[in-house]
A and B are shown apart, each in its own frame.
Chain A
Amino acid sequence: MKNIITLTIFVSFVTFSVAQDFKFGKVSKQELQEKAHPIDASADAAVLYKKEHITFNYVQGEGFVQNREIHERIKIYNKEGYDWATEKVYLYQGSSGASKEKIIGIKGYTYNLVNGKVEKTKLKKDGIFDEELNEFMDISTITMPNVQDGCIIEYTYDIKSPFSSIDDIYFQYEIPINQLDIKVATPQYAQYNKLANLRASYQPKLSKRKVERKVVFTDRQRSEFYTTNTKFSQSTETYFDNVIEISETNIPSLKEEAYVGSMENYVSKMSFEMVATLNDFGAIEKSFSSNWEKVSKNIYDSDAFGGQLNRNNFFKDDIASLLQGVEVPFEKAFVLQSFVKSKVKWNGSYGFYSQKGIKDAYKEGSGNIGDINLLLISMLKSQGVNANPVLVSTKNNGIPLYPTRRGFNYVICMVEDQGKYVLIDASERYSLFNVLPRRVLNWQGRLIKEDGSSSWVPLMPSQQAVESNSLNIKIEDDFTVSGKVRQMMTGNLALNLKKKYLGLSQDDKVKSLESDKGAIVISETELEDKENGDFIISYDYELSDAVDEIGGKLYFKPLLFMGEKENPFKLDERAYPIDFLIPFKNKFKVNIMLPSGYEVEAIPQSEAIEYKSGAVKYTFVAKQNGSFIQLSTEFDLKSPIIDSADYKVFKEFYSKIVEKQMEQIVLKKV
C-alpha cells in the first residue's frame, strides 16, 4: 500500500481591513476633480493609496512561498506626471530556471471625468509587456491606457516568489503619498530583522501583532491491492504569523538636493532579512545572521568569500620574484596591490563575494570587486602579512540599516602591522593606502578576521586632503596677464584629478585646463604623478581679459581664473546634510608683480571667517611688499558633513568666501 499525499491545501486568511475608499475599481468624483495636490502644490502626480502586503503561504513540496500584493492608486495632475502611468516590475530569475519570481493577476483601470461622469478604461493585455532583460532578470512593464490630465490610474498585481528574502519596502517616492498601507506577515518559523532608515526625515509608525494561520492538509490514502479504493482524511496545522503594519497618511515627497552624497541614504524605507529559522517551540533551528558579528561570520564562512582566501598555489611563483628582498609588511602590501592592479582589471561589478573565484579572475585578468580585493588579501596572507577583508556599503547602496548581508555590497583590504593599519582598494588604479575611491567613502566598514571576530573601521580618510595652489601674476603693458600656476594635490583630491587628467592626450589636457577660464592660453603643461601619491599640475598661462582699465585705473581679481565664481549652494533651505565626502584644505599663494608706472590704490582687506567656531575656517591675507602684492588664502574643512539644520549659516559663510574672492585690487598711475 502506498500513501500519496497530494498537494491540496486550503489556507484561511485573516484579512486585513482596508479603508473603504480604496476598494479596487472605485474612485470618487472628488478625487478626479482635484486640480492640484492639497499639501504639495508642486506635485505633478500623487499616490492616493499604496498598498503593499507581503505574506508567506505554505505549499507542500515548495515550502513557504512569498506573495507580494501591490495595489497603487495614483492621481496624475499634469503632463509632467505621465511617467507615473508606466510601472516597471523587475522579476528575479534565480540561478536555475526552476526558482523564479512570477507576476500574476495584473488588473488596472484609468479613470477620467467625462462630462461629469466617471469613465473607466480597462488595462488590457496590450498594455502589458514582458521581456527578458538578461539571464537574471525579467521585466514586466505595465502602461496604463487613456491617461489624461487629472486622471487617476489604479493597478494591482501579485508577485509570487520562491525566495525568502524580502525586497526593501519604500515608504517615500518623488511624489507625495496620501495613504500608505503596508503589511508584512512572516511565519513564526522564520525570524526576520527589520529596520527603517533612520537618516530619512520621514519615519512611519509601526504596529506589530500576531495572527493565527491555519493550514488544512488533505491526505489521500489509496489501496491498490484488488480494487482501487481512495480515502480522504484532513488534518489541520495551526501556526501564527508575525505581522507588521503601517498605516500612515501624507508622506512628503523626496526632493533631490545637490551635494548630498547619495539620496539613497535619506529615502524612507525598510529593510528585512531572514536571520534564523525556528522550530515549533520557537527555538533557533538554523541561524543566519542577527548581529554584525554573525553577519560577518556568515559571509566569511561562505566559499565565495573566506573560502577564496586560502587559495594561493596559482600565484605563488609569480609573486615570489616580486617580493625578493621585501621584508616590511606594508612594503609587501604596496608591491602586491600594484601587481594586482596591473594584473586584474575591474569589470564594473560590485559585490563582496568572488564572482568567478579568484583563480579564474587571476587567469582571465578581470573580475568583480570581490575577485580583486580577495585575491589581494589571499596573496598577502600567503606572505604572512596580517591582511583581512573589510565589508563596505557603497555610497549608492546607502548606509547599512541593520545587520544584514545585503547591507554590504563591496569589500576592500586592510593590512595591519605594529598597531598601524592601511586600507587598500585594488580595483581603482589611482587609489593609495587609505585613499579610496569615492564610491567606498560611506561612513564605516566591517573588518572580519579569520577567527570570525569583527569590528568597525572608519572609511573616511583621517587626514585632510590638501590642494596647494601657487599663482604668479605679471601684468604686461597692454594689460594682458601672464604667469605660472602650480597645483599640488594630496590624498583623494589627487585621486580625483588623476582620474580626470591622466590618460588624456596632451591636446585634451590643455583643452580641459583651459575650459572655463576665460580668454586664456595655456602652455608648458606638466602633470606629475609622484611616487608618494601626490599629483602636481603646472603650466604657464596668458590671459587677455583679466584686467579692466576704467578711468585710468586698473581693476582685477587677485585669484584671476581660479577660486570660486559662484556660491554652489542655491537652495533656500535643505532637508538633508551637505556631504563634501572628505575633509580637505584648499590653499592659494598668489604673487602679483605690479606693472611699471602703477601703484596700489586698494587691496582687499585681510580677514578670517569661521563657521561654527572653527569647524570650517577661511583665512585671507593680502599685503603689499614693494612692487609686489602677496596673497595667501586657506579654506579648511575638518569634517565633511554639514547638518541640514546648520545649512543657512553655512550658506551665508560660503557666500562670504565667494564675495571675498571676488573683491578687486585697484591700481592707479603713479
Chain B
Amino acid sequence: MKFTKALSACVFSLLFAVASSQSDSDFKTSGISPELTIKANAVVRYEKQTIEINDFDDMYVTTKRVVTVLNEYGDQHTNAFEGYDNNTKIKKMEAKIYNEFGKEIKKFKIRDFTDQSAVSGGTLYSDNRVKYLSYTPVKYPYTIEYSSEVQMKSTAFVPQWRPIDGYYVSVQYSEYELVNNSGIEIKTKTENFDNYNIEKLSDTHLKAKNLKGIKYEAYNPGISNIVPIFKTALTTFNMEGVKGINNSWEDFGKWMYNDLISGTGQIPQSVIDNVRSLTSGVTDNIEKAKIIYEFMQDKTRYISVQVGIGGWKPMNASEVDKLGYSDCKGLTNYTKALLEAVGVPSYYTVVWGDNDIKDIDSDFSVTEGNHVILCVPTNEENIFLECTSQTAPFGFTAGFTDDRDVLLVTPEGGKIVHTKVYDSEESLQITTAEINLIKDGSFDANVSVKTTGYQYAIHEDIISKSLRDQKLYYKEYWDNVNNLEIMSIDINNNRDEVILTENVKLRATNYTSKSGNRLIIMPNIFNRVRSIPPRYDSRNLDFRIQRGYKDVDEFIINLPEGVKVEAMTEGEKIESKFGVYEYKIEKLSNTKLKYSRSWTMNKGNYEKEDYNAFRDFRKRIVKLDKTKIVLKID
C-alpha cells in the first residue's frame, strides 16, 4: 500500500532549543569504546545541557556538546544550530573541529555560523530564523565541540532531554540539569527509561552513560516509543508575553481557550446571515455542520503563515473571511466561528498530524502538537474536521489525524479524547474485473476498484490528476502488467458516503508468457503484492502495524476458443495473528474461470520474536499472488 496523498500539513513553529557542547574529555577518536561504534554513525562523547529557570518568562539554556562523527551519515547529529526570534537571543555560539587524533583543525565564532530564515518548504512566511554551522568535513572521523548559550523569554517550550536523538547514534555521556530559581513548580515525566543506563541525581538532574546506538528496523513502533525521554514543563509559563498556567491539560486548555482563541471568532454579520440562510430549515446539527464545512472548503485555501504567539495563536476569523486563506489554526478557528453562527458547538483541537500515528500525551500536559483540527461533538461520537483540505469528505480523518489522542480546547478547559479508528472492515478495497483473454496472450478488461476508509485516503489522490497523469498512474499501479493501454477512465467520488469508485477499461498485449503451445497466465492481474518486508538476521525492535485494512478481489477470466486449462491449483488459505489471506480459482465453465482473493491485515503491536512469522506470512502472500494457470492451445 502506497501513501501518496499529501494532506496539507500545518506545522507549528516549535522553537528549537537543542544542544551542543564542550567537554573536558579527550577529543581523540581512539577514546571511544568499541561497543559504541557499532550501529553508530556518530557518538555523543559528552553532552551537558543546563536550563536555568529564573522566572516564568526568563529561561537560560547552556549547551555543551562534543560529538565524534564517524561517517557522512553522522553529520546530522552534530546539532550545531540554534533557532531564534524576537523572544529568543543567542548569547554565545561557538564550535571547534578536531581531527581523529584530537588536534584542533578549525574554529567557528558566532559570526561564522550561517544565518537563515527558518522557512521550511511548505511555509509561506515565518518570522523564525536559524543560525547553523555549515562545515564541510575534510575527513572522517572528526570531532566537533559545540557550545551555546541562549536566553529565552518564552518558557512554553522547555528543552526535553533525549540523549539518543535518532537512529545510529550512541552516547558516551549525556547530562541534563534543570535549575529552578523561580519558585514555580516544575512538572517532569520520564519515558522509556528501562534498560538504559541512566542515573537520577535529583528530580531534574539526570545523567546517562554508554547508551548504544539503535539500528533502524522496518515497522518499528516509532523512535519516540523506544528512546529515553525526560519531559519538563513549568506550571506557570510565558508564551511570547502571554502568561499561562499548566498544572494539567484542563488548565492548559483553559489557558489556550482564554488567551489564544477567545475573541478571535468574530465574523461579519453578512457572513452570519449568509450561513444562516444556507442552513435554514435544517435542524440536525450534523447536517448543518456538513453544509458549513463545505461552504468553508469552497471559500478558503490553506497557506502556512507562521506568525503570532510562537505560531500558536490563530488568525482572527474576520481576517480569514476577508483573505480567504490561512493556516490550520486560522481555518479551524474560522470554521468554528461559522458553526457557532448557526448554533453548532465545536472545539478547537490540537493534534500530532502525520501518517504515522502519534498521541498527545494524556498524562503530561505540555506545549505539544503540530496541527489543529475541529471537533464537532455529537451524541454518538465526536466528528473531526480537517479544515486545511478543500477536498476531504466531511468528518474524514484517515491517514493524517485518525486513531490518536488529541487535545480538545473547550471553555471549561482541555480534554484528551481519541479520534476515529478506521478498522480493517472499514478500510476496504474491492477490486472486480472481467477479463477477455485472447489467443495471442493479450487481453482486454473492465476493472473496478472501490475504496473506503484508509484505503480511500490512499486512492483519493487520483481524482485531481489530469487524464495524462491518471493514465500514467494506472500503468504504475498495475506495473505487473506490461504493455498496458488505458482505454477509458471513469471515477466516481461519493463524498457523502466516502466511497471512491474507479472504473477503468484497459487492454494489454503479451500478458501471458508463452512456452511452446502453452500459455502461462497469472490470474491475479489487478492486485498483486510484490514486496516482502526486509529480512533481519536478528530483530532488535518490536514492531507495529499501524492500521488494519482489507482487500477483496474477484476476477472473471473468459478464455478464448480453442484454449483450455491444462493445470491449475484450486486455492489456499493462510491464517496468522497478523491477518488472513485466501485465494480460490474456480472453473465456472470450460471457457470461464473465477479467481477470488481476500486479504485482511490486522492492526497491532507485536513483539520482535514475531517478526519472522509476520515476514513469512507476507512472503507466502507474495508467492501465492504469483500463482499461475497453464493453458493449452489446441
Contacts and interface: CB of A to CB of B under 8 A. Distances in A.
Interface in B589-634: 619, 622-623, 626-630
B114 A134 contact: yes
Given A85-B301, A664-B515, A131 B117 contact: yes
A551 interface: yes
Contact of A366 (B136, B303, B390, B567): B136
A658 B479 CA distance: 12
Contacts of B535: 511, 514, 521
Given A132-B117, A503-B71, A659-B510, A141 B125 contact: yes
Contacts of A132: 117
A24 interface: no
B138 A345 contact: yes
Contacts of B472: 570-571
Contacts of B566: 551
Contacts of A148: 298-299, 324
Interface in B559-591: 566-569
A519 interface: yes
A131 B125 contact: yes
A465 to B, nearest CB: 25
Interface string A130-141: 011111000001
B395 to A, nearest CB: 19
Contacts of A515: 534
Interface stretch (B276-284, B331-339, B370-378, B463-471): B463-471
Given A121-B324, A550-B568, A555-B520, A659 B482 contact: yes
Nearest to B485: A572
Interface in B120-138: 124-125, 134-138
B119 interface: yes
A86 B124 contact: yes
A347 interface: yes
A634 interface: no
A344 B303 contact: no
A42 B468 contact: yes
B264 to A, nearest CB: 15
Contacts of B303: 86, 143
Interface in A141-162: 141, 143, 145-149
Contacts of A285: none
A567 B483 contact: yes
Contacts of B516: 601-602, 666
A521 B566 CA distance: 33
Interface stretch (A9-17, A75-83, A238-246): A75-83
Contacts of A566: 479-480, 482
B271 interface: no
A135 B472 CA distance: 42
B136 A347 contact: yes
A602 B515 contact: yes
Contacts of B116: 133-134
Nearest to B567: A551
Nearest to A253: B466
Nearest to A514: B535
B323 interface: yes
Given A79-B390, A545-B623, A146 B567 contact: no
B223 interface: no
A521 B532 CA distance: 12
B622 A516 contact: no
Interface in A361-386: 364-366
Nearest to B467: A42
Contact of A503 (B72, B475, B567): B72
Contacts of B619: 519, 544-545
B504 to A, nearest CB: 15
Interface in B359-389: none
Nearest to B315: A126
Given A42-B468, A147-B325, A519 B117 contact: no
A663 B514 contact: yes
A528 interface: no
A570 B475 contact: yes
Given A78-B464, A567-B482, A602-B516, A344 B567 contact: no
Nearest to A364: B106
A29 interface: no
Interface residues of B, number: 69
Interface in B60-78: 71-72
A521 B124 CA distance: 47
A544 B535 CA distance: 14
Contacts of A131: 117, 119, 125
A343 B135 CA distance: 15
A427 to B, nearest CB: 11
Contacts of B135: 366
Contacts of B484: 570
Interface in A598-628: 601-602
A548 interface: yes
B89 interface: no
A655 interface: yes
B391 interface: yes
Interface centre among B125, B390, B515 (most CB of A within 10 A): B515
A43 to B, nearest CB: 8
B294 interface: no
Interface string A234-261: 0000000000000000000001000000
A548 B595 CA distance: 18
B520 A514 contact: no
A519 B532 contact: yes
A146 B125 CA distance: 18
A518 interface: yes
Contacts of B125: 129, 131, 141
B565 to A, nearest CB: 10
B115 A514 contact: no
Given A86-B303, A545-B622, A555 B137 contact: no
A348 interface: yes
A220 interface: no
A344 B479 CA distance: 44
A662 B119 CA distance: 49
Contacts of B569: 550
Contacts of B468: 42, 255, 571
Contacts of A570: 472, 475-476, 484
B147 to A, nearest CB: 21
A511 B533 CA distance: 10
Nearest to B532: A519
A570 B482 CA distance: 9
Contact of A662 (B305, B513, B532, B534): B513
Interface string A508-530: 00010011101101000000000
A127 interface: yes
Contact of B464 (A79, A121, A571, A572): A79
A42 B483 contact: no
B471 A145 contact: no
A507 interface: yes
B532 A129 contact: no
A411 B535 CA distance: 44
Given A79-B301, A345-B136, A545 B482 contact: no
B215 interface: yes
A346 interface: yes
A79 B391 contact: yes
Contacts of B629: 550
13 contacts: A42-B466, A126-B323, A133-B116, A133-B117, A134-B115, A135-B115, A146-B322, A147-B301, A342-B139, A344-B138, A347-B134, A507-B215, A518-B530
Given A79-B391, A550-B569, A570-B472, 6 more contacts: A129-B305, A146-B322, A348-B136, A365-B139, A366-B136, A544-B623
* 10 nearest CB pairs, A to B: A551-B567, A42-B466, A365-B138, A366-B136, A146-B324, A129-B125, A347-B136, A570-B475, A79-B390, A602-B515
